[in-house]
Amino acid sequence: MIQSVNKHETCPEDQPFRRTCPSLMMQRHVELPKAFAELGLEAPILRALADMDFKEPSPIQKEVVPLVLSGRDVLGQARTGTGKTATFGMPTLQMIDPSGRLQMMVLTPTRELAAQVVGEFRRIAKYRDLHCVPVYGGTGMKEQLHQLGRKPHVVVGTPGRVMDVLNRGALKLDTLRFVVLDEVDRMLDIGFRDDIRKILGRVTHPHQTIFVSATLDEEVKRLAKQYMNDPVEVNVSKDDLTVDAVQQYYCTVEPWDKFQLLKLLLQKEQPKLAIIFTNTKHGARKLTKRLFSIGIEAKEIHGDLVQQKRERIMERFRKHQIPVLVATDLAARGIDVHQITHIINYDLPQDIQVYVHRIGRTARMGSTGKAITLVTREQGAELTEIEMLINRQIEKLEVEGFTPTPPPRGESAEPTGGRRAYEIPASFQTATAASAAPAARAPVPNLGGKFPISRRRRR
């Protein structure tokens, strides 16, 4: 049975399932973050958080950290950009015994997210003698097997590669104390269901289990019921699924006018850093080439790129050497760049819950951002479903200077205007987004109704 905890409820007073950290001589000038100390975190972790400039815990951290320290299994709902990696990393890394063997395994949907988790863990455990190893595809198996042979305390990997090393006998799970599934909803969506069940079935040692998910659908809860021990469910409300700091807009456009509208949006918005989402690898490649042909410095990331190339692209993106990233949903998992100012949904996501993941790439940790979604007339119902999911209206954005064009030969649509050419700068000059986030809206009972077509609900 899954229990629920309210944000204002106190956490259970169970006996802690933890080990005390070794004493650490602190430098006098280091001011430890008191708000994190109040959660039960100790000196080595607090000092690392001070180095990382952590000041105040996020809402999900305030709730989950004490629960994990008390020994409870936790089923947590958290959108990207809320500090969810640190949420499960801080308490578990504090409780790991440096003298022991493998004690923690984290499963993630993509290698990008696995690499991000490893990096965050190494920063959090900076003052603890812990060894953390990534295990994912796209990199050499030989080196990963070598690292596993060094008896790490923590393994972070994708289900497919973890199953591979398990089958090779290079990884043993009989000493695990903590099992974390990060973005479990996405892992289920992209086909890791069987691998997850096989991996969890091999964990026989008494352990804590933590699931983190942007959405808590019935499949996630069924998995939790099977593999978790009386978990506490920590939910955020629908109002919190997307933060108020994200300005959300949609533009109506016919499919053949999408690129013309995108050019104009980039010209007018001048994003500092932007991610443009497409639904397919082919679409990402094609759009990147078209952007490059008009002088916009853009790069694509998708599942066909080798890991080294993806890492080089992401490094240039973080350094603002590439202002525009064209990405598929799978490849974008694990992107952790705090300065992203714009998310553009060139393709409306095929699964409306993916919308939450996409726009969570902006407005991270107190910053603001803008999300613009291109919607065709036939996608009115999907837009309405997104509004119902996040419980707020998405404003329509009228782009000055954009005129719809007649359909190309063979398209079945009525002409809506004359063709018009647009100018775009020869090189894409980035500029800091100046607009601030609007005030949060109250929940609206009647959402949608923006399109002159019959509404439908998918069953």
* 218: CB partners within 8 A, 6+ apart: none
Bridge-based pairing of strands 104-107 and 154-157 is parallel
User: What is d(CA 203, CA 164) in angstroms, rounded to the nearest whole number?
Assistant: 16
User: What is d(CA 81, CA 337) in angstroms, rounded to the nearest whole number?
Assistant: 9
Q: In what order do the strands lie in the sheet with 274-277?
A: 298-301, 324-327, 274-277, 342-345, 369-375, 246-252, 395-396
**CA-to-CA separations, 181 to 87, 112, 272, 353, in angstroms, rounded:** 13, 15, 33, 18
Sign of CA dihedral 439, 440, 444, 447: positive
Write out pLDDT tens, residues 434-448.
333 333 444 444 454
- At residue 149 the predicted structure's pLDDT band, cuts being 50, 70 and 90, is very high
Checking if the pLDDT of 431 tops 70, the result is no
- At residue 457 the predicted structure's pLDDT band, cuts being 50, 70 and 90, is very low
- At residue 392 the predicted structure's pLDDT band, cuts being 50, 70 and 90, is confident
The arithmetic mean of pLDDT across residues 117-122, rounded, is 95
User: What is d(CA 224, CA 229) in angstroms, rounded to the nearest whole number?
Assistant: 8
Write out pLDDT tens, residues 59-68.
889 999 999 9
Pick the CATH number of 3-21+28-236 from 3.40.30.120, 3.40.50.9100, 3.40.50.620, 3.40.50.300: 3.40.50.300
| Predicted pLDDT of residue 72 | 97
Q: What residues does 211 pair with on adjacent strands?
A: 75, 181
Sign of CA dihedral 145, 149, 150, 155: positive
| Predicted pLDDT of residue 191 | 87
Tell me which of 392 and 274 has the higher pLDDT. Answer: 274
* Protein fold of 240-396: Rossmann fold (3.40.50)
User: What is d(CA 117, CA 89) in angstroms, rounded to the nearest whole number?
Assistant: 9
Write out pLDDT tens, residues 305-326.
887 888 899 889 989 999 999 9
| Predicted pLDDT of residue 411 | 63
> Is residue 389 a contact partner of residue 250, using CB atoms and an 8 Å limit?
no
> Is residue 327 a contact partner of residue 273, using CB atoms and an 8 Å limit?
no
| Predicted pLDDT of residue 22 | 37
- CB-facing half-sphere around the CA of 20: CA atoms within 13 A: 3
What is the location of CATH 3.40.50.300 in the chain? 3-21+28-236, 240-396
- At residue 243 the predicted structure's pLDDT band, cuts being 50, 70 and 90, is low
| Predicted pLDDT of residue 412 | 57
| Predicted pLDDT of residue 366 | 64
Write out pLDDT tens, residues 159-217.
999 999 999 999 999 999 999 999 998 899 888 999 999 999 999 999 999 999 877 88
Average pLDDT for the chain:
82
* 53: CB partners within 8 A, 6+ apart: none
Checking if the pLDDT of 296 tops 50, the result is yes
User: What is d(CA 81, CA 362) in angstroms, rounded to the nearest whole number?
Assistant: 8
Question: Model pTM?
Answer: 0.62
